């Protein structure tokens, strides 16, 4: 036993049950990591036990190979007892019996009493209460014990009473043990050296029993600080620390210290352990972790059976059936689930196969339809391309017709205006001739008719009218025209003029009048002059001179005033 009463363990489990939700919320990451560490130690437990047995074999070899005195043999037996004490009950009992024989053989009262006390302690912690009682009440004469053995006597008696109170099946015996326990515990603490680890350990247990948790915690922390985390003492102290954390309601810390205690038990090859069993109960009650609980309780039972004492298997047997029953029930549920899933997967496989066959056929049909659709799309794209070309040609033709109609409308209006003006001028000219014939001689009239001044004026007026009308239609003509010529050959009208002769020639070409004779008649130049102007300008063109006039015909955007 660890020296902590079963009442404390039960209370800790109850506290954990109430703290279940809190534990799950606060330690989602810590608990799995610590349990994984414990599982790693469990996997290595055969190695730890092999090393421990190797140390035991070494001690046994000393007994068999080396000539030693009975006193030396007693000391080697004591070391073997210490090695077996938490490893195997039968072997511990065997070497205690051998030491008792040696002590009597050498007539050593001290060694006899020392061995009897160790034997009584072993019986007390293993559930052999009658045997322990026989030694403590009948075989030890306390009047002959020195101070050291007296302290150990009180310690052993205190442990015997604590175990009897907790696990005796007789209520009367249990109550009697409880009444005596306080006295022997007090005497134990009075006689043990106050600076010894043993004194502090049992003082810590007493403080836990009386509810002085903070003082107990400070003591156990000092003990843990001095002990390597791989020894049996560390396992005992860590177990005690877990009980303190359980009393405080710190469920996560309690489990953490139980895991540390169990790891130390495994590394020190301790088969008489309590941490793994309690951890299994907590996992089962607080987490419903049936798999983990069953695994740990099974290992704990294996250790207890190997240790071969009476108490530990009885403790585990009270828990194991419940966990095992839950584990088997879960296994059955899992088996039913697996069977159900297997049937479902088989059905799903068959359904998938049917769907795959149908999908393959559908893909074939879709592939055929896709090829047909692709051919149809190609034909449709060809029709669309041709239609687009037709639409473009039609748009060009419509633009040309629109422009021609607009130009026609502009110039019809212009032509009607000019005709009307010239009819009015002709009437004025007739009146002028009649007046001159009535008042002047015929020679003066002939002189008036022979003058070119009036015609030149009419020609200049024609040019101005044409220039205004054309630039109204194509206001950017001059700039776009010059953009087709080399920079040094640009043509600019004289100041105060809108167009000059070269610009008028190509303005008429822009309007669709390409014949040189028609252009010559309109502008009152010779055909040869018009030809020379055209050739000179084309020689200064940027790029090919052959398509220069075609570019002229595309100049400008026609603007029509409503």
Domain harbouring 53, CATH code:
1.25.40
Answer yes or no: is 88 within a domain: no
Instruction: Answer whether residue 34 shows pLDDT above 80.
Output: yes
Answer yes or no: is 41 within a domain: yes
Q: Are 166 and 5 in contact (CB under 8 A)?
A: yes
CA distances from 101 to 109, 130, 142, 228, 397 (A): 12, 21, 20, 35, 134
pLDDT tens-digit series, residues 415-434: 546 665 666 666 676 677 77
Give the pTM. 0.56
Q: In percent, how much of the chain has pLDDT > 90?
A: 40
Count of structural domains within the chain? 2
pLDDT confidence of residue 9? 40
**Are 313 and 165 members of one domain?**
yes
CB atoms within 10 A of CB 192: 23
Answer yes or no: is 494 within a domain: yes
pLDDT confidence of residue 6? 38
Query: For residue 255, which of 236, 267, 238, 271 has the smallest C-alpha distance?
Result: 238
Q: In percent, how much of the chain has pLDDT > 70?
A: 79
Tokens matching residue 120: 């009584």
Instruction: Answer whether residue 58 shows pLDDT above 70.
Output: yes
pLDDT band at 269 (very low <50, low <70, confident <90, very high): very high
Query: For residue 213, which of 186, 251, 163, 248 has the smallest C-alpha distance?
Result: 248
Position with higher pLDDT, 287 vs 514: 514
CB atoms within 10 A of CB 437: 12
Q: What is the mean pLDDT of residues 163-168?
A: 86
pLDDT confidence of residue 157? 96
pLDDT confidence of residue 89? 95
Answer yes or no: is 287 within a domain: yes
Instruction: Answer whether residue 397 shows pLDDT above 60.
Output: yes
Distance CA(508)–CA(294), nearest Å, equals 110
Considering just the CA atoms, what is the radius of gyration of the chain in Å?
Answer: 62
DSSP-derived letter for residue 488 is G
Candidate from 145-154, 185-194, 325-334 with smallest mean pLDDT: 325-334
Instruction: Answer whether residue 435 shows pLDDT above 80.
Output: no
Answer yes or no: is 378 within a domain: no
Position with higher pLDDT, 156 vs 362: 156
* Domain closes at, from 295, 318, 341: 318
Answer yes or no: is 240 within a domain: yes
Query: For residue 103, which of 117, 86, 92 has the smallest C-alpha distance?
Result: 117
* Domain closes at, from 294, 318, 342: 318
DSSP-derived letter for residue 362 is H
pLDDT tens-digit series, residues 452-481: 666 777 788 888 888 888 888 888 888 998
Q: What is the mean pLDDT of residues 490-504?
A: 88
Q: What is the mean pLDDT of residues 14-30?
A: 41
pLDDT confidence of residue 419? 63
Position with higher pLDDT, 328 vs 53: 53
pLDDT confidence of residue 56? 96
Q: What is the mean pLDDT of residues 318-346?
A: 66
Q: What is the mean pLDDT of residues 138-165?
A: 94
Instruction: Answer whether residue 14 shows pLDDT above 80.
Output: no
Distance CA(162)–CA(125), nearest Å, equals 10
318: left (phi over 0), alpha (psi -120 to 50) or beta: alpha
pLDDT band at 450 (very low <50, low <70, confident <90, very high): low
Mean pLDDT in the chain? 83
Answer yes or no: is 428 within a domain: no
pLDDT confidence of residue 29? 58
Please give the residue range of the domain that contains residue 530: 452-553
Q: What is the mean pLDDT of residues 48-68?
A: 92
Position with higher pLDDT, 15 vs 186: 186
Q: What is the mean pLDDT of residues 13-30?
A: 41
* Domain closes at, from 318, 351, 368: 318
Q: What is the mean pLDDT of residues 161-180?
A: 89
Tokens matching residue 48: 């730890």
**Are 310 and 457 members of one domain?**
no
Candidate from 58-67, 209-218, 241-250 with smallest mean pLDDT: 58-67
């Amino acid at each position: 036993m660890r020296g902590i009463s079963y009442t404390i363990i039960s209370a800790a489990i109850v506290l954990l049950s109430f703290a279940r939700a809190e534990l799950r919320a606060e330690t989602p990451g810590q608990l799995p990591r610590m349990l994984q560490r414990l599982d790693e130690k469990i996997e290595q437990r055969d190695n730890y036990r092999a090393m421990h047995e190797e140390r035991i074999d070494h001690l046994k070899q000393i007994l068999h190979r080396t000539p030693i005195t009975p006193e030396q043999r007693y000391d080697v037996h004591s070391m073997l007892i210490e090695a077996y004490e938490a490893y195997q009950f039968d072997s511990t009992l065997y070497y205690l019996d051998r030491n008792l024989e040696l002590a009597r053989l050498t007539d050593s009262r001290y060694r006899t009493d020392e061995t009897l006390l160790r034997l009584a302690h072993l019986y007390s912690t293993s559930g052999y209460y009658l045997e322990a009682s026989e030694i403590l009440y009948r075989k030890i004469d306390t009047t002959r014990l020195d101070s050291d053995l007296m302290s150990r006597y009180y310690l052993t008696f205190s442990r015997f009473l604590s175990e009897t109170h907790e696990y005796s099946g007789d209520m009367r015996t249990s109550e009697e043990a409880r009444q005596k326990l306080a006295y022997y515990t007090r005497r134990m603490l009075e006689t043990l050296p106050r600076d010894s680890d043993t004194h502090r350990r049992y003082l810590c247990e007493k403080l836990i029993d009386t509810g002085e948790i903070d003082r107990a915690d400070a003591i156990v922390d000092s003990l843990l600080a001095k002990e390597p985390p791989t020894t049996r003492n560390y396992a005992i102290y860590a177990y005690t620390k877990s009980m303190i954390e359980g009393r405080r309601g710190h469920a996560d810390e309690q489990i953490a210290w139980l895991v540390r205690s169990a790891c130390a038990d495994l590394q020190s090859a301790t088969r008489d352990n309590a941490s793994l069993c309690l951890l299994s109960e907590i996992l089962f009650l607080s987490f419903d972790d049936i798999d983990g609980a069953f695994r740990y309780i099974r290992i704990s039972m294996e250790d207890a059976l190997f240790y071969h004492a009476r108490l530990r298997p009885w403790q585990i047997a009270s828990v194991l059936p419940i966990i095992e029953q839950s584990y088997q029930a879960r296994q059955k549920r899992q088996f039913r689930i697996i069977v159900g899933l297997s049937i479902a997967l088989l059905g799903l496989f068959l359904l998938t196969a049917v769907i795959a066959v149908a999908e393959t056929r559908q893909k074939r049909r879709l592939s055929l339809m896709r090829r047909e659709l692709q051919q149809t799309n190609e034909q449709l794209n060809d029709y669309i391309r041709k239609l687009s070309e037709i639409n473009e040609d039609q748009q060009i033709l419509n633009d040309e017709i629109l422009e021609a109609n607009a130009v026609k409308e502009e110039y019809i209006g212009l032509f009607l205006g000019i005709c009307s003006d010239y009819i009015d001028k002709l009437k004025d000219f007739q009146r002028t001739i009649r007046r001159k014939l009535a008042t002047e001689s015929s020679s003066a009239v002939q002189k008036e008719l022979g003058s070119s001044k009036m015609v030149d004026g009419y020609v200049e007026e024609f040019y101005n009218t044409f220039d205004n009308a054309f630039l109204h239609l194509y206001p950017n003509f001059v700039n776009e025209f010059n953009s087709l010529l080399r920079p040094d050959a640009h043509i600019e009208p004289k100041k105060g003029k809108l167009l000059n002769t070269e610009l008028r020639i190509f303005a008429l070409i822009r309007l669709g009048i390409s014949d040189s004779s028609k252009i010559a008649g309109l502008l009152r130049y010779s055909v040869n002059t018009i030809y020379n102007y055209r050739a000179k300008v084309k020689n200064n063109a940027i790029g090919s001179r052959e398509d220069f006039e075609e570019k002229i015909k595309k100049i400008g955007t026609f603007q029509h005033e409503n």
